[in-house]
Amino acid sequence: MRFYFAPLMIFLLSCSMAYPNDKPGNAPQEVTYCQLAKDPAAFSGKQIRIRAIYSYMFEVQRLKSPTCCAERDVSIWVDFDEELGGNSRKLFRRFPKGMGLVLATFVGRFEGCGPYGAGGYQFKFTVDHIEKLEARAKPSLGRDPAWIPRNCEASDGARAK
């Protein structure tokens, strides 16, 4: 019986050490939305911290850039961990009901190889923690809040910074 116990313990220990980035104690990688849009596949499977606009309404839950980026926009579906707790739960309850726009710093896991969500998004971001809520608003036809980037398209087709 002891003969089987030692190899089993070694196997279990090696499995637990195989994925050190999945441990909750590791700090998430700080990423800007523009970095994520430039090469989203590079962040697939990683725990990240990102400041972004969360836009949501019926069958839409996505991240948007809080600044103008030279990179193309990338469609990222957003889910919130069911066990969102503490201060994150309090901040989440402050989001506009039904539909809205929220500028915040989120921490979570970024995944690729969709489809995800109602629109068949290629990427998904599952929020584990909301660190900071900067602004929130209900969408209004033709009137975006001042903190939404405007006029990012330059006349030559490149995006302005």
pLDDT tens digits for 117-138?
877 889 999 999 999 999 999 9
CATH number at 27-161: 2.40.50
> Can you give the pTM of this predicted structure?
0.77
Query: Going by DSSP bridges, is the β-strand pair 100-111/46-57 parallel, antiparallel, or unpaired?
Result: antiparallel
3-state secondary structure of 116: strand
> What is the number of H-type helices and E-type strands within the chain?
3, 6
3-state secondary structure of 64: strand
Q: Percentage of residues in the chain with pLDDT exceeding 70?
A: 79
Averaged pLDDT, 56-85: 89
Q: Taking 70 as the threshold, does the pLDDT of residue 154 lie above it?
A: no
pLDDT at 140: 80
Task: Find out whether 87 and 131 touch, Cβ atoms under 8 Å.
Answer: no
- Residue ranges of the domains in the chain? 27-161
